[in-house]
Each structure stands twice: as C-alpha cells, then as structure tokens.
Chain A
C-alpha cells in the first residue's frame, strides 16, 4: 500500500474545487486572448477583448473563494506578508506560497488589460490605450500576464501533487492535466461568449481548432496520469471511476466528435463548449473529492 494512504484529509472541498476551475478559466482566457492577438494575422478584436474582459472578474472570484476557504479569512494577507516582521513572505518551493504571489501579480495584469479592453475605441482614455496589446507597453504586459496565466492554470495541480495525499501525491501529471484542461475550458468559454457577442465566425473557428488540439492533449495527459498512478488507480474502481469515464466520454470525446462532424465553419454550436466546460469542472471534482474520502 502506498504510504500516502496513512495521511489525513485537508478538507479541501467545493470552494477549492471552484477555485481550481475558475483559476484555469482566468489564466487560460488571458493566455488564449494574448496568443490570438500576437499570432493571428488580423485578430478579431472582439474576441481578444473578450478574453481580457472575462479574465479579471474570474481571478477576482478566485481570490474571493480562496479567502473564504481559509480557517481564518481575515489573515489572508499572511500568504504574502510575514505577520510579525511585515517582510514579504515567499517560499519558491511551496506551490501555495508561489501561487499566492502569482494570483496577485496576475490580478494586476488582468486588471490593466481589463481597463485597456474597456478603453478600446475610446480616444478620450489615452493613458489606458497604452496598455492595449497593440502598444509596446501593452504587449509586454500581456506577454507577462499570459505567462502568469499559464502558471495560475497549472500550479493548482502541482500544489496537489506536492502533498502526501492518495492520488494527488502518487502522480506528477496533475499540473499538466489541470493546465491543459484550463486551456480547453477557456477556449470553450470564449467560443460560447464569442458567439453571443457577435465575434467573427472565423475567429470562433480558429478557437475551435485550438480547443480540439487542447482536448487531445488533455486526453493524453489524463492517460499519463492514470498510468502513473499504478496500483493506486484501483481506488477509482467505484463510482468515481464511472464519473471519470463519463467525464472523458462527455467532456473530451463527445465534443471532439461533435467538432469534427460539423462541416461548416460558420455554424458554431454551443453543445460542444458546454460539455467541455462541464467536463473541466467534473475533472476537478473527481480529483479533489475522490482523494478526500481516502
């Protein structure tokens, strides 16, 4: 039996699960918007703006649920500042410590990009226009923000692995899985919202192409995760395993099939993205709660 089965549960439940999901969406949306802006020849500004407009409210929600999950929410600042000396509190080898700083820094980038997105098309807000990705300062800001966003989407899985709990500490692929899932769910969210706000069908189509690639990568990451668990994977020979199978089928395989079967790029559907989003949430529910009961 793995030594991880002799440990106690940290009681991380719905709020933490919600944070893992929202963090993936926040970081992923920012990353997708940035990469779309930097590499698309003629980027659809509505879609790029949308990425920045959703990233900031989502990361605010992340901070809220994380703080509410603390046993002493009023001491949330102890993550960043030593409570006795008031010096910065950082441990690079503690994912939670480095993650707290990344949330803070990413929130700053997301806030500035949010303002820049609001200011787009408003000549009376010249200062904020400098933060637009088309300006040099804005480009630097969004590149830094995208890197921090990727960190935010993936470090949550690393945080789980850097424990001694069953499943979480028995694999090194949770960070990769959460990161790729964050990218696929973010693309799905932007496809959904983009369709509603009238983004160009071509930009929706390119997002769908990215989402398909991310979903394939997610399936590979999940396969690596389950394989790396070895005998520990037997703990999923129950309802959790059925849910995981449902997640793979409904949240990865079915959206891929739907995407490939739809011939015309001008007919964006909502079922696939909704399934991807639901699958991403379910993945985190399974990972968090199936270990909690052991």
Chain B
C-alpha cells in the first residue's frame, strides 16, 4: 500500500509566476475560458479569479497596501483541492463517482459523474466546479495518472521556487514544521500552518504555510463536513412529519370530510 501523498504549499516563497496553473492546464488538457478570449479581472494581476472545473490550480494575488500605497506587501498562494482526509464531496456524491485513491487523494471519476453538482455545494473550500466541456464536476486529481507511474504532479514539477512541495504526507509535515520554525526564528510571528494537523477535516493532504489569517487567503477559518447538519435536520423534519400527521388526524377525523 503506497504512503499517503500530498502537497505542502509554502506561500512565503510563491512569486506568482503561474507556472503551476499553466502546467496543470497543459497536462490535464483543460480548455480555456470563453474559448480562449482573454478576460481580465481589471483590478489585479490575478485573471483566473478562482478554482473551477477548468482551473484546477489558481494562484491568488492578495494586495495588502496602505491607502497611499507607501507601505504594503503582496501575498501569493497557489491554491488547489485540499484532498481532505474527511472529504465532504465524497460524503454527498450520490453516484459514487468521487473516490479515495490508494495515495489517500480524492479523485472525481468523470465517466461516472452525472453532473448533479452536489459536491460543489458540499466542498468547504469552493474547489469543485463543472467543466463545460464534459458536463461533469472536475477538480485537481493530484495528477493521479502521473503518480501511478512514479512521476510528481505537473504543478509541483513546474514550480520554480519550491513553493509547491510534493511527497509523502509525513515527510511534508516535517518539512513544514522546520520551515515554520525557521520563520518564527526570523521574527515572522504571523506564520502558521493551515490544515497540517488532524483537527481540520481529519487533516488536509494539501496543506499550507500562511503568514496571515486564513480568511485573508480566501480560506475558511473553520471548514466543516456537510454531514454535520444531517441528524438535526432529519430530526426536525421527522418531528414536523409527526406534527402534520397529528394535525391531519384532528382536521379530518370528527368533523371531517363527509359527502353532503
């Protein structure tokens, strides 16, 4: 059985080159948006804007500047599917199209997906979307096809600054802790790991080193499984059904419907 594999993304060394985005698109043969007609966001160097069915990697550009722009910093982060150990998308998928692989990664089998889009609503990170070319939900596969033959994912291979680190999760956690210690030693008090421990959805197999609050990077501070609402919702609905039945009995029983 192979070891759990994943990504550790060190956002502090990301330079926003988008080589990961390009490599991902090229390897996975993902189509361009709007048939290749360029669309600019108009307020950032980030024109991809978000992860979706045809963008499985997305480099976020976060500008933190004073109003007069004399002081500030760029935060950059290459975002991707988190390959959660407890994955909300797998929980809700009604066709069984979303599976956990032998590498402990999460993959959508496009030939089994029927495009119901329940996984899109269930993902706590807004990672999944429909690929208009296939009509099915799609996202990062952590290059399952490359891993099967011993290759690293295309994005990690292309990253020129080693912001995207690929490998066994246990090794990546050691690497992340060492880098965190290095930053703290250098006086970066805001540095923190996101998703590296089991508290967050059992652990994220794609976790991050951040230098600000997760919300600043567009990451949920407290992601949860969709099934947390199943029992209370079902309970209230059952009580409602009982109440309706009682109301029905009283409405129709004694003074009930009689032919006249």
Contacts and interface: CB of A to CB of B under 8 A. Distances in A.
Interface string A66-98: 000111110110110011100001010111110
Interface residues of A, number: 77
Interface stretch (B162-170, B176-184, B218-226): B218-226
B116 A174 contact: no
Contacts of A79: 94-95, 114, 116
A183 interface: yes
Given A3-B221, A163-B226, A221 B240 contact: yes
Contacts of B135: 71-72
B186 interface: no
Contacts of A10: 117-118, 120-121
Interface in A39-53: 39-45, 47
B174 interface: no
A176 B236 contact: yes
A109 B251 CA distance: 24
Given A162-B122, A175-B237, A217 B114 contact: no
Contacts of B130: 11, 71
B241 interface: yes
B247 interface: yes
Given A6-B218, A217-B240, A169 B229 contact: yes
Nearest to A96: B94
Interface in B102-117: 111-117
Contacts of A4: 220
Contacts of A176: 233, 236-237, 239-240
B226 A202 contact: no
Contacts of B112: 78, 82-84
Interface centre among A100, A157, A158 (most CB of B within 10 A): A158
Interface stretch (B7-15, B85-93, B150-158): B85-93
Given A7-B126, A161-B233, A96 B256 contact: no
Interface centre among A78, A155, A165 (most CB of B within 10 A): A78
Contacts of A47: 257
Interface in A154-210: 154-155, 157-165, 168-169, 172-176, 179-180, 183, 200-203, 206-207, 209-210
Interface stretch (A30-38, A110-118, A277-285): A30-38
B257 A43 contact: yes
A214 interface: yes
Nearest to B136: A71
Contact of B219 (A6, A70, A162): A6
B252 A210 contact: yes
Given A83-B112, A94-B91, A36 B117 contact: no
Do most interface residues of chain A lie in helix, strand or loop, or is the interface mixed?
helix
B253 A155 contact: no
B68 interface: no
A1 interface: yes
Contacts of B122: 162-164
A164 B247 contact: no
A8 B130 CA distance: 11
Contacts of A73: 114
A9 interface: yes
A210 B251 contact: yes
Given A41-B256, A78-B97, A83-B111, A154 B240 contact: yes
A201 B124 contact: no
Interface of A: 1, 3-12, 31-32, 35-36, 39-45, 47, 69-73, 75-76, 78-79, 82-84, 89, 91, 93-97, 100, 150, 154-155, 157-165, 168-169, 172-176, 179-180, 183, 200-203, 206-207, 209-210, 213-214, 217, 221
Interface of B: 50-52, 88, 91-97, 111-118, 120-130, 134-137, 215, 218-224, 226-227, 229-230, 232-237, 239-241, 243-245, 247-260
29 contacts: A6-B215, A6-B218, A7-B220, A8-B120, A8-B123, A9-B120, A9-B121, A10-B118, A10-B120, A36-B257, A41-B258, A43-B258, A45-B259, A72-B135, A78-B95, A79-B94, A79-B114, A158-B234, A160-B121, A161-B229, A162-B122, A162-B226, A162-B233, A172-B236, A202-B257, A203-B258, A213-B250, A217-B243, A217-B247
Q: Which 10 A-B pairs have the closest CB atoms?
A: A71-B115, A203-B257, A3-B220, A40-B256, A71-B135, A75-B114, A175-B237, A8-B126, A210-B251, A163-B121
Given A43-B258, A207-B257, 14 more contacts: A8-B123, A8-B127, A11-B130, A31-B248, A43-B252, A75-B114, A78-B112, A78-B113, A84-B112, A158-B229, A161-B230, A176-B236, A176-B237, A217-B243
